[in-house]
Structure 1
Amino acid sequence: MTTVSFRFRRMAWARVLIVGLLCPSALRADDWPQWRGANRDGVWSEGGILEAFPAGGLEGRWSVPVGVGVSSPVVVQGGVYVTDAELVRSKARERVHCFEEATGKPRWSYAYDVNYPDWALESFDKGFLGPVATPIVRDGKVYALGFLGHLCCLDAAKGDVLWRKDLPKAYPAKELHCHASPLIEGDLLIVFVGAKPAATLIAFDRNTGQEVWKALDESATSSSPIMITAGGGRQLIVWTQESVTSLDPATGKTHWRQRLLTSADYVVSTPVCHKDLLLLGGLMMKLDPDKPAASVLWPATRAASRRILSHTSTALFRGDHLYSAKSFGELVCIEASTGKQVWETDKVTEVRNGASIHLTANGHCVFLYNERGELIRAQLTPEGYQELGRVALLEPTYAFGGRKVAWAPPAYANRRVFVRSDKELICASLAAQP
């Protein structure tokens, strides 16, 4: 049983917004094993995808009930893995599920009790609780991080517990922030939880659960860290509440640090890297080619509002330009080398607080999934936004700002799209007609 006195009210709005790794040889090219896909970059390389949405909507493969959570589903070797929370009046359980990819038939579930505060249980239907971090699957094992810091490694085929950690007990702290999705680098499982002292990031041996290193003494955000290759080696990039920092993934030693204070405590957008450019929200860094170092490319100002494009959405590089939602849902095209805005459109979603757009590149087109549960296929070029089709996939269920929203990011695998709310997990076909 996990008991933690976090500052739930302060964290509640952020957990529903969440919702660079090596691509392991054991995975099929069309699997989606972790946050933002095989390479953690929002790119789906699979071919044979439809060129236009059917007039009657996508062919529904299956739908299964799930509980509260905004973690993304992941898809590996015929299994769909998703985390959620189930409320049984006066108590709650967090769960990890595995479903058959082709049919939605349950394979297994792993559950554990958690102690959510009374006020949160009373507001459970508002989507304030449940796992936020997206699980990751590697070498027949699934790793999942719960909302209260329950970290587990399970057998991906059977759901058997291989090891587990109660992070609040192992790393006492006034507040943990278990929203960022874990990543794997070699034999290390790295989590970003903001434990103190000096345990903002913790690396575990992914086979045994033993701590290998811990690093930094800064507060965590909801931004999932990435791995990049630059400056002659691998760098772990993390965006905390105080900085963007590069670390040696083998030791946790800091390579470089750029102070970056945001206009809000919690940011969701993930760092993105393209060639020698590294984008953190609205801050562009230029990576040194010869050593692990970086410098600010743009903007010149240190004003927080100028250094954040969106707290809820992650940008996408396409050639010499990047595309990103702004904080209220406008989609913009920006010249990557200068930060100059090329165009802006309000056609993707309603312009208002809490808007989100998840962008996934697929060939010459991009799939955009918004907080209204709509999937859009479009061409994004410096010349403008060209919408090719739009379909409603999911009924939004999370209450926010007087409306219902769908913030959990989708997964794409085997010519299918997988989306979830706090009520159901849906699989629909994106396969081109023969």
Structure 2
Amino acid sequence: MNTSSDPNRSLRVSKFRFHRLWMPLLLVLAAVGAIFAVGVLRPEMDRNLNRWLTTAIWLLCGLLNVFWFLLFSRVSGKLRLGIAVALVVLGVAASQMVRVDGVVDGSGLPKLAWSWSGKGTPDLALPAPASVGVAVAGEGEGDPSVALDGTVDGSADVPQFFGALRDGVVRGVEMELVSDWKAAAPKEMWRQPIGAGWSAFAVVGGRAFTQEQRGAEELVTCYELLTGRLLWSHSDAAHFTQWQGGEGPRATPTVVDGRVYSYGATGILNCLEMRTGKLVWSRKVLEEVGSENLEWGTSSSPLVFDDKVVVTGGSTSGAVLLAFARDSGEPVWKAGSDEASYASPLLATLAGRRVILSNNARSLTFHDPATGVLVAEHEWGDARWPKASQPVVMPGDRLFLSGGYGMGCQMVQVTAAGEEGKLAVAELWRGLKLKTQFNSASFGGEFLFGLDDGRMACIDPANGDRLWKEGRFGSGQSLMVNDGLVIIQSEPGPVYLASVKREGFEELGKLEALSSKTWNHPTLAGRYLLVRNDREVVCYELPVK
């Protein structure tokens, strides 16, 4: 039969060629279906895992389509060869023209930039610090001894990370903040560049203390609260960087009795004079105990109490906590057999016993403050993922634990054990309704709240049931002020004021404070709000009643 005269041949060929295009279409539909199924079947899946899984599904879909086109599309061999060569050339060119510049956000997905563009974090020149040494009060502008008595009108001292009890609740503020920023907007006091790092501020006596990276130097810096003027700085030849976590120190200084205690990202513990920044003593903690650094750098804010200062260790098993004499820096004790993580130690009294709580890679441990002796241990979480959230001490000798990366949350009961001085820990419930990442949860009296994968969520402490979930703030931070009033530092940079109650969430105001990735905790010192990231710092005066 002469097929060339067959009038239906061209129609059949056209249908056959069209039929071959169903394969890439099916691959795309399968990818969409897989992403939809993950969202429906695993609604509480960790946001980071979901983002990575979604990206992986689309990449696999793209690779399978390229594979189909080159091997099974039946397009002419010359065209397929030409496209294959073009893809290889584009891949090589992209590897030379594009580089990874940190991450997009807390999900850890890489942020791409042109190879010839500048770094994402500016390397800024540090202004000349004030002279180091004992200064005489009242000598004039720039004198590092000014405002040491806490007389700045409307200010209050915040001497350590995350509040007096390290629970994200502001206490001891006599004034009441105005809850309508639209009617009475906060006043911007000053704004200026700052070195890299994820530290927050401690504020004492009208001075604001933080840590930052400037080139090859890791700094502890002291600024005048009302003006932002640099009063002094202390530098160490240290530079930590990690492609996901970025550059610079992570911890917040602690200020006690006229001294500043800081812990750098490479494990340098300093004691400085608050007045001048003069070094009193210094320890290279990780080097001294022979421990490797954590993947994202040491992040523990020093815990200062009695005659001791306590910090966490590194990624090598053993010595999760280390205590030093406050006055001399001499080692006092070291304790633990786990690997450290990224939360800060805190003091608590549970079942009638005063203990230090340490949130470690595989466990929560309870230590005697005087000796470091382990009095209880509770295994929880996954050592493959970081823990950055503070344990929340609850009424009735309970503790609330939470973490991101699929770890979820749980409530535990602490009781006195039979053995003298020991404690027992029993799990009451666990769930996935509050998955904090960089944020820590806080207790609002009748409810627990925090950022659940970037959205503000409220849960019932009795059983872990979620009461509500609102807003989108990324890997940000929160701070509770007064009754139900919460300041939220969002990851993209804006700051929000919100009413957070058991009954629901209401946004009350917004400040376009910062405009780039922000993982730093906000600090509220009376009516003065300090917010910063790895590029910029801003101070606001908040309206009060």
TM-score over 0.5 (shorter chain): yes
| Structure 2 gap segments, 5+ residues each | 1-101, 108-148, 403-408
Q: CA deviation at 1:204?
A: 0.6
Secondary structure of the residue aligned to 1:288 is strand
Map of 1:53 onto structure 2:
181
| 1:191 shift after superposition | 0.3
Deviation, structure 1 residue 116: 5.0
Is contact 1:189–1:206 with CA below 8 Å preserved after alignment? Answer: yes
* TM score, norm. by length of structure 1: 0.82
Determine the structure 2 residue equivalent to 1:106: 230
Alignment of 1:192-341 (within 5 A): 192-194=312-314, 196=316, 198-262=318-382, 264-275=384-395, 276-281=397-402, 282-288=409-415, 292-299=423-430, 306=432, 309-327=435-453, 329-341=454-466
Report if the CA contact (8 A) 1:320-1:337 is conserved.
Answer: no
Distance 2:489 2:531 in 1: 10
Tell me, in whole angstroms, the C-alpha distance in 1 between the residues paired with 2:443 and 2:500.
Answer: 10
Residues 303-345 of structure 1, C-alpha deviations (whole Å, 9 max, x = no match): xxx4971222111111221112112x12221110111111222
- What is the CA distance between 1:207 and its match in structure 2? 1.1
Task: Tell me how far 1:361 sits from its aligned partner.
Answer: 3.0
Is the Cα–Cα contact under 8 Å of residues 73 and 81 in structure 1 kept in the other structure? yes
The alignment status of 1:174 with 2:292, answered yes or no, reads yes
Residue in 2 that maps onto 1:139: 257
Residues 170-217 of structure 1, C-alpha deviation per residue, up to 9 Å, x if partnerless?
111233451121111211111012365631110111111011110112
The amino acid of 1:86's aligned partner reads: R
- Is residue 411–residue 417 contact of structure 1 (8 Å, CA) maintained in 2? yes
Is 1:344 the equivalent of 2:472? no
Aligned ranges 1:370-409 → 2 under 5 Å: 370-396=490-516, 405-409=517-521
- Show structure 1 runs of 4+ deviating over 4 A: 26-29, 54-57
In structure 2, do the counterparts of structure 1 residues 115 and 129 end up closer, same or farther at CA, with 3 Å as the change threshold?
A: closer
Question: Which sits farther off after the overlay, 92-101 or 257-266?
Answer: 257-266
> What is the alpha-carbon distance in structure 2 between the residues aligned to residue 50 and residue 295 of structure 1?
42
Q: Matched residue of 2:287: which SS?
A: helix
CA spacing shift, 1:84–1:16, aligned 2, 3 Å: farther
Matched residue, 1:361? 481
Distance 2:381 2:180 in 1: 42
Which has the larger share of strand?
1
Q: Which has the higher mean CA deviation after the structures are superposed, 249-258 or 57-66?
A: 57-66
Q: With the length of structure 2 as denominator, give the TM-score of the two structures.
A: 0.66
The offset of 1:234, in angstroms, is 0.8
Partners of 2:274 and 2:106 lie apart in 1 by 26
In structure 2, C-alpha distance between the alignment counterparts of 1:260 and 1:364, rounded to whole Å: 30
Q: Which amino acid is the alignment partner of residue 191 of structure 2?
A: S
What residue identity is the alignment partner of 1:323?
Answer: F
> Which AA in structure 2 matches 1:240?
N
Retained in 2: the 8 A contact 1:71–1:82?
yes
State whether residues 262 and 307 of structure 1, in contact with CA within 8 Å, keep that contact through their aligned partners in structure 2.
Answer: no
- Sort the Cα spacing of 1:388 and 1:76 in 2 relative to 1 into closer, same or farther, 3 A: same
Q: Is 1:72 aligned with 2:200?
A: yes
| Mapped partners of 1:139, 1:317: distance in 2 | 29
What letter corresponds to residue 165 of structure 1 in structure 2? Answer: R
> Do the aligned residues in 1 keep the contact of 2:188 with 2:539 (CA within 8 Å)?
yes
Root mean square deviation of aligned Cα: 2.6
2:165/2:346 contact within 8 Å kept: no
| Contact 2:433/2:465 (<8 A) preserved | no
Aligned with 1:132: secondary structure? coil
Q: Is the 8 A contact 1:194 1:217 kept in 2?
A: no
Structure-1 separation of matches of 2:497 and 2:370: 40
- Single out whichever of 411-420 and 57-66 deviates more from structure 2: 57-66
8 Å Cα contact 2:450/2:456 also seen in 1: yes
Question: Aligned equivalents of 1:390 and 1:134: distance in 2?
Answer: 25
Q: Does 2:533 match 1:415?
A: no
- Alpha-carbon separation, structure 2, partners of 1:257 and 1:27: 40
Alignment: residue pair count:
384
> For the structure 1 residues 178 and 163, does the alpha-carbon distance in structure 2 shift closer, same or farther, using more than 3 Å as the test?
same
Aligned to 1:43: 169
C-alpha distance in 1 between matches for 2:328 and 2:150: 22
1:142 is matched by which residue type in structure 2?
V
Cα deviation 1:111-145 (Å, max 9, x = unaligned)? 1212557xx6xx7xx86110001110000000111
Residues of 2 paired with 1:270 and 1:238: CA distance? 9
Residue type matched to 2:543 in 1?
A: A
Conservation of the 8 A alpha-carbon contact between 2:433 and 2:466: no
Question: Aligned partner of 2:399: which letter?
Answer: L
Secondary structure (helix, strand or coil) at the match of 2:530 reads strand
Identity %: 31
Question: In structure 1, what is the Cα distance between the partners aligned to 2:185 and 2:434?
Answer: 35
Paired with 2:311 and 2:203, the residues of 1 have a C-alpha distance of: 21
Question: Could you report, residue by residue, the CA deviation over 1:82-116 in whole angstroms, capped at 9, with x for unpaired residues?
Answer: 100111xxxx1000110111211211111121255
Match of 2:487, SS state, is: strand
